[in-house]
Amino acid sequence: MDEAQRFLRYLTPGLTFVILIASYSYLSQHDWTLKFTKDFLSQNSVGTAIGLFFVSGGIGFLLSAFHHVLFWSPIYRRLALVTDYRQVLEHAVGTGRLELRLRDEVQDIAKRRLSHAGSWRVVSSLWHERRESSARIKGADRRTVSLSDIMHGAGTAFIGAVAALVVWAYLHLRHTACWPGGSFWIVLVVAVAVAGVHLWNFRQTVEHCQGVIGTMLSNELRLERLDKKRPAVVILSETDLESQTPFKL
């Protein structure tokens, strides 16, 4: 990903966050929003526009950081918002196309299962080891990188939609002396629906990214097994496996 794409990956969710707050505020508090916007822009329209542009990039970076923290969390795992390649790898092991070994070969890995993060590390290792040597992986690499960017962008946009709802509700309640009227509840329903759409979009992109990479890698390991007459070998560390403690989230 070049620098322009990297910046746009942060800028777009940040701008979306700002636009959502402005839209919700306009619909729920029309007069106050227009007055605030007019006063804000009248100070220095050009400088304000440039500043808002770069601030949006900073906001997008913060939203992206929250997304990546949550990406491997138990909450996202329960919502199926994390790429999970364990079934792909377990199938490859079961068919003799892949062999997983622990660095400490004294331990038995047969009864242990990869963690979500561990499966991602194994798939990343297998993929990038073959990115130059395999014409199939090399040909698909650009598309998979694009899918990964889209997936994380959708996840960051979802975080931004939730954050915009919270910030808008806070601003509205702070500037309302009485109990919220009908416009507040209507906009609240709209904001929840927008966050729901972003959540659905994020989940779909996770499934597509996982499906494409899993299919390509499975096929590559199958052809490699036929060609070399031996399975690919990946050396694991203890952190790649699920915890053996009885308490699991």
C-alpha torsion sign, points 44, 49, 50, 52: positive
- Containing domain of residue 46, as a range? 3-238
pLDDT digits (tens, 9 = 90+) for 181-214: 788 899 999 999 999 999 999 999 999 999 999 9
Asked if the structure places residue 195 within a domain, the reply is: yes
Asked, for residue 189, whether it belongs to a domain, the answer is: yes
Q: What pLDDT, on a 0 to 100 scale, did the predictor assign at position 173?
A: 84
In a domain, 91, yes or no: yes
Q: Is residue 244 part of a domain?
A: no
The pTM (predicted TM-score) of the whole model is: 0.83
**Rounded to 5 degrees, what are φ and ψ at 236?**
-105, 160
Do the domain assignments include residue 247?
A: no
Cα–Cα distances (Å) from 118 to 56, 85, 121, in that order, read: 33, 9, 5
- The whole-angstrom distance between residue 110's C-alpha and the CA centroid of its chain comes to 31
Do the domain assignments include residue 76?
yes
Total structural domains within the chain = 1
Q: Which has more pLDDT, 162 or 5?
A: 162
Question: What CA–CA distance (Å, rounded) separates 57 from 80?
Answer: 28
Amino acid at 171: L
Q: What is the DSSP letter of 239?
A: G
Cα end-to-end span (Å), the chain: 34
| Mean pLDDT score across all residues of the chain | 85
User: Would 249 be classed as within a structural domain?
Assistant: no
